[in-house]
């Protein structure tokens, strides 16, 4: 099994390699690596043209994963994602033709442009790592990692993601506009493709890193901190829908990955503090009171984070 020190060095190497193709905020790279190391699906939300697809492809290249891309549109069907049964005239039987979802690293581009029926086809794969086609269950290749991008809900031709699907994304990332220096680098490349990212690790190493992340320890006070934060989102009148128990489990997994990236084999409260907003912001739903007052989810969550006492002495 990969040591924590080795995993932290790999994270640094991945960040450097990805930065050769993705010219944007390092926070976005860090959050994607947190999802990659913990095995949590990641939702990238932002306007078109900010580098969402470039970032996801760069991560796939750097970790040596088998890559599949799904471009969503309103006429995309579930079978176009999962695969379908095809009649083989030579054997006189139906055989399974895998869809683009049957890869280790899957990019689902502009997910909220797909119709709700097609969006639902992803639920089983995101939760259970398998797809079911004509009553037959097919496991996804491992290690599996799904990154989906979506356009802002106000954009034309989008279908809102249901709460059940949003809850299956462990983390959300917003890239934002690049800095002046980063945009200059983008202009230097013009319309040409960004450089190919060198492979830093292979998928066997990634699997070992995930095993190491799953073994990271956390004292009871840190676990209670996670539970208390989730409880606060459920009790505030400003949120109609707070964090689910699945969200608490995702927060713990993300905090473990953050600890490993920082070179520790134990979780500290600062790790939970770091991952709270990425884990929570896409899951919560504003109450009518908050909507009338013009409040926003990040602002409410930051208030909860600021007012919740962080454990000391860890």
DSSP secondary structure string, 69-97? EEE--TT--HHHHHEEEEEETTTTEEEEE
Q: pTM to 2 decimals?
A: 0.91
d(CA 48, CA 209): 32
Asked if the structure places residue 109 within a domain, the reply is yes
Looking at the fold, whether 97 and 173 belong to one and the same domain comes out as yes
| pLDDT at residue number 280 | 97
CA distance 279 to 254: 8
Same domain, 200 and 229: no
Residue 154 pLDDT greater than 70, yes or no: no
Is the pLDDT higher at 103 or at 53? 103
Structure tokens at 58: 């760069």
Last residue of a domain, one of 179, 207, 235: 207
Which residues span the domain enclosing 294? 216-307
Co-location of 222 and 119 in the same domain: no
Q: What is the pLDDT of residue 309?
A: 93
pLDDT score of 126 more than 80: yes
261 within 8 A of 37, measured Cβ to Cβ: yes
Mean predicted confidence (pLDDT) in 265-280: 97
129 and 9, same structural domain? yes
The predicted pLDDT at position 188 comes to 79
Residue 160: other Cβ atoms inside 10 A:
12
What is residue 190's predicted lDDT score, i.e. its pLDDT?
A: 65
pLDDT value, residue 156? 67
Among 148, 183, 207, the domain boundary falls at: 207
State the Cα–Cα distance between residues 247 and 245, nearest whole angstrom. 5
pLDDT of 145 strictly over 90: yes
Residue 210 has pLDDT above 80, yes or no: yes
Looking at the fold, whether 181 and 248 belong to one and the same domain comes out as no
Q: Please compute the mean of the pLDDT values over residues 295-300 and round it to a whole number.
A: 94
Closest C-alpha to 120, from 156, 84, 159, 149: 159
In this structure, are 12 and 157 located in the same domain? yes
Instruction: Indicate if 84 and 227 belong to the same structural domain.
Output: no
- Comparing 58-67, 240-249, 275-284, the range with the smallest average pLDDT is 58-67
Give burial (CB, 10 Å; 0-12/13-18/19+) of 136. exposed
């Amino acid at each position: 099994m990969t040591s924590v020190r080795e995993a932290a060095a790999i994270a640094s190497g991945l960040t450097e390699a990805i930065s050769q193709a993705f010219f944007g905020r390092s926070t976005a790279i860090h959050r994607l690596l947190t999802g990659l190391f913990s095995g949590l699906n990641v939702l990238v939300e932002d306007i078109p043209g900010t580098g969402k697809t470039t970032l996801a492809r760069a991560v796939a290249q750097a970790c040596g994963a088998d890559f599949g891309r799904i471009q969503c549109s309103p006429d995309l069907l579930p079978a176009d994602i999962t695969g379908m049964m095809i009649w083989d005239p030579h054997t006189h039987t139906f055989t399974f033709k895998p869809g683009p979802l049957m890869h280790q690293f899957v990019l689902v581009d502009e997910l909220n442009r797909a119709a709700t029926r097609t969006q639902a086809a992803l639920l089983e794969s995101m939760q259970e790592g398998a797809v079911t086609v004509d009553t037959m269950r097919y496991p996804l290749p491992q290690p599996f990692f799904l990154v989906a991008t979506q356009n802002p809900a106000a954009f034309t031709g989008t279908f809102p993601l249901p709460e059940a699907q949003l809850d299956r994304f462990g983390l959300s990332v917003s890239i934002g506009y690049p800095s002046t220096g980063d945009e200059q680098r983008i202009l230097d490349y013009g319309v040409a493709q960004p450089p190919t990212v060198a492979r830093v690790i292979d998928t066997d190493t990634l699997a070992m890193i995930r095993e190491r992340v799953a073994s990271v320890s956390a004292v009871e006070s840190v676990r209670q901190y996670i539970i208390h934060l989730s409880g606060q989102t459920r009790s505030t009148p400003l949120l109609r829908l707070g964090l689910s128990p699945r969200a608490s489990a995702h927060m713990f997994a993300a905090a473990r990955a953050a600890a490993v990236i920082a070179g520790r084999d134990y979780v500290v409260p600062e790790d939970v503090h770091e991952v709270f907003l990425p884990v929570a912001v896409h899951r919560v739903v504003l109450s009518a009171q908050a909507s009338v007052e013009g409040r926003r989810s990040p602002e409410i969550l930051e208030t909860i984070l600021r007012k919740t006492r962080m454990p000391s002495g860890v």
